[in-house]
Amino acid sequence: MDQFRRIQTGKKGDIHMVLFKDKKILDDVMLDEIKTEITQLLGKASGPDVLLDFSNVEFMSSAMLGLLGQLHRKISSGQGRLKMCSIRPEIFQVFKLTNLDKLFSIHKDAPAALATFT
């Protein structure tokens, strides 16, 4: 499925699975594109369940956390659940430094994350 440039998408039941294609998520333009694509994907669906897969991501700017915060807020206000998985230690450090590892639901890999949705 090559509908999007920055994300690869799939569905497992009602859960939207989003895989970031980029190794480095750094500049604002890229962040805007990611935001637009996820917004397009989720559309007006109220309270979707979403799993973000960070397998490919090796570097990430702190501004990406802001985008995750927006998503988190939007999804939880609609009774949906946002989960993340496959975050490598260097990236996890960014979450940890800002304490956001305690805000987000972060899991080892996709199967582990999917298991927690039920």
Cα–Cα distance, 61 to 65 (Å, whole number): 8
| Nearest distance from C-beta of residue 70 to another protein, angstroms | 5
Stretch that binds another protein, among 12-20, 47-55, 56-64, 110-118 (CB under 8 A): 56-64
Contact between 59 and another protein (CB under 8 A)? yes
Q: Report which secondary-structure segment, H or E, holds 12.
A: strand 7-12
| Nearest distance from C-beta of residue 85 to another protein, angstroms | 21
Contact between 39 and another protein (CB under 8 A)? no
Residue of 100, 39, 42 whose CA lies nearest to 66? 100
